A and B are shown apart, each in its own frame.
Chain A
Amino acid sequence: MITLKNINKTYYTEATSLHVLKGIDLQIDKGEYVAIMGASGSGKSTLLNILGILDNYDLGDYYLNNKLIRDLSEKQAAAYRNEMIGFVFQSFNLINFKNALENVALPLYYKQISRKKRNIIAMEYLDKMGLRDWAFHLPNEMSGGQKQRVAIARAIISQPQILLADEPTGALDSVTTVDVMKVISDLNTSGLTTIVVTHEKSVADEARSIIHLKDGLIERIEKRAF
């Protein structure tokens, strides 16, 4: 499903450059649950952003469902993000003037689905997340755990093939972390390919394989048995 060959990424500033990914080769199959771990600056978030087509890479090849991502136009990339990939971020990235229902329904707006229909679907997803009663609340009226569950609902409403989560529990307390990771694990169990970037061992332990990054390279891949 996902094939990375010799992926390199360098960030340039006026004075310096920072070679963050130094040749990543990786294969992730459909339905896998992968955690990416590493110290700060190891390149784990950069790798996730490239996987999510939120950022580009300088060198190498990235194939998603056998399609070379480098060749995608901005419009095609948007369509891929909308239909194939769901994102969950540490800082939730909800639109603060939209209520939970509107936030969840937003990806469907870009799929040209009518307001009435997308609101019905969004309500179903909120219900699945146990947030039906919070549908008309704004993000700033909700707790961190609730916000993250809204973000997860938004990420999966388009029925993507891949869920990318960047430190999904980074802003949550330990109890809420367990709740959120349960939701993510359940999604993976239902067949959703899941890639989670985390620095928390307990979170990574939910995954079936853990990729350890160090200085922009894959140090090792730890396969876990359940």
Chain B
Amino acid sequence: MDILQEILSGLKHNMLRTILTGLSVSWGIFILIVLLGAGNGLKNGVSSNFSQRATNTVQMWSGTSSLPYQGLKSGRALDFSDKQLTNVDQNLSEASDETGIIDKQSTISWQNEYGSYSVKGVDPYYSTIFNLKFDNDGGRFINEMDLKENSKVIVLDKKIADVLFKSKTSIGEYVRVGEVEFKVVGVNSKKERWGDGSAYIPFTTAQIIFNPDRKFKSIAMEVNGLKTKEANDAFNDKLKKSMSKSLRFDPNDTQALWIWNSQRQYIQTMKIFAGITLFVTIIGIFTLIAGIVGVSNIMLVSVKERTREIGIRKAIGARPGSILLSVIIESILITTIFGYIGMVFGVGLTELVNFVMVQSAASNPSDTGMSVFKDPTVQLSYVFVSTGILIFSGIIAGYMPARRAVKIKPIEAMREE
């Protein structure tokens, strides 16, 4: 306690120097946290955008052939059927949980409320592939039993439920899709990026009601074990070849089949963000180094300035160890207190930005949760390690010149001005 009072009286006397030393520590930590937070915010924003669907999914759409193939003319409209679903299931080992998607624009009505919406006939896997979200009171998605029994059940996006039912509960109610009644079994609360929302009915039911020719335009699936861009490219080629054989179009035809491989996009984007993270980290490290240099420099000057005082203290009986200890404790005090201040301001700013973003999203009903910047917070372990590094360098920076000063003979130290 006595040593602390002794140190504090010195720091109080050199208030400006103490504050300047401290500010270089605070600023270093503050900037580091803000930079890392910005990097994390970008990364989280993009990752969150990918969460609109599972990252290991592939969806394909049939198009129109643009090249003649095996005696068939170009300009043929291509459609999927159960044959292609089976083909994917049996020939592409990486693919699983495939679902055909039948998409019809229909009027959905309940009592006097109605609207025109996309009604999709899908398998239960669709919910996993597209990350649909069901709140506690949100019911369920289509299940295997619905498929088997061709049930007339429907799942509504929240946007549709809000339009038709306002604040009333929709689950258990019956809505009309065209002229057919469907029982609402679930409400998907995931915010969709585009459009007015969709409704989902069992694939088998959709085939019967909307699709007598049993043709559809899209198939989605999960893919497994494709860790690299190359592996995903190879899978896309394999899928295209398989479809070209099954639907009979030229494998080089760019208009016949459209494939969206989210895993490939994810890997590519994450590579870019790994680069950005690396860049931000490097800037952060240099900021930290600048902080270290600042602290070291000021500590060096501070001890140098005090050489005469150290000489006087030695002349009246201070042991070298006690002088070293007081310089080290002084360094620890300055770097810890100001490091903590920088840390609080840095974390405070990132949390504030995050809070404002969350509040703004919550108060804006049209917000889809899509953003290139999200949750710009920093892992506390990074913050503590960085502060620790600065504190440690402050100690070293104080210790080295202090060690030199205590080694000088008292009479020489007292002559220093």
Contacts and interface: CB of A to CB of B under 8 A. Distances in A.
Interface string B302-320: 0000000100111111111
B9 A97 contact: yes
B409 interface: yes
Nearest to A91: B414
Contact of B312 (A93, A109, A114): A93
A97 B314 contact: no
B100 interface: no
Residue of B9, B313, B314, B317 most packed against chain A (CB within 10 A): B317
Given A93-B312, A109-B2, A110-B322, A158 B411 contact: no
A86 to B, nearest CB: 8
A82 B316 contact: yes
Nearest to A84: B317
A79 B317 contact: yes
Main secondary structure of the interface of B (DSSP, over half): helix
A95 B309 contact: yes
Interface in A46-102: 49, 52, 54-56, 74-75, 78-79, 81-83, 87, 89, 93-95, 97-98, 102
Shortest beta-carbon contacts, A-B, top 7: A82-B317, A97-B13, A54-B411, A78-B319, A110-B317, A107-B316, A54-B410
Contact of A115 (B5, B312, B317, B320): B5
B319 A75 contact: yes
Interface residues of B, number: 24
Contacts of A107: 316-317
A110 B315 contact: no
**How large, as a class, is the contact surface on chain A?**
20 to 34
B317 A111 contact: yes
Given A49-B411, A54-B315, A54-B409, 18 more contacts: A54-B411, A55-B412, A74-B319, A74-B320, A75-B321, A78-B317, A82-B316, A87-B315, A89-B414, A95-B309, A95-B313, A97-B9, A97-B10, A97-B13, A107-B316, A107-B317, A110-B318, A110-B319
Contacts of B410: 54-55, 81
Contacts of B2: 109, 114-115
A93 to B, nearest CB: 5
Interface in A190-225: none
A154 B316 CA distance: 8
23 contacts: A54-B409, A55-B412, A75-B320, A78-B314, A78-B317, A78-B318, A78-B320, A79-B317, A81-B410, A82-B317, A82-B318, A83-B317, A87-B315, A87-B316, A95-B312, A95-B313, A106-B316, A107-B316, A107-B317, A109-B2, A110-B316, A110-B322, A115-B5
Interface string B403-416: 00000011110100
A27 to B, nearest CB: 24
Nearest to B6: A109
Interface in A110-127: 110-111, 114-115
Residue of B6, B9, B10, B315 most packed against chain A (CB within 10 A): B315
A93 B317 contact: no
A16 to B, nearest CB: 18
Residue of A56, A79, A95 most packed against chain B (CB within 10 A): A95
A81 B315 CA distance: 6
Interface in B274-326: 309, 312-322
A111 to B, nearest CB: 7
A93 B298 CA distance: 25
A143 to B, nearest CB: 20
B124 to A, nearest CB: 77
Residue of B322, B410, B411 most packed against chain A (CB within 10 A): B411
Contacts of B309: 95
A102 B6 CA distance: 10
A106 B409 contact: no
B317 A81 contact: yes
Interface string B88-125: 00000000000000000000000000000000000000
Interface in A132-148: none
Contacts of A97: 9-10, 13-14
A5 to B, nearest CB: 21
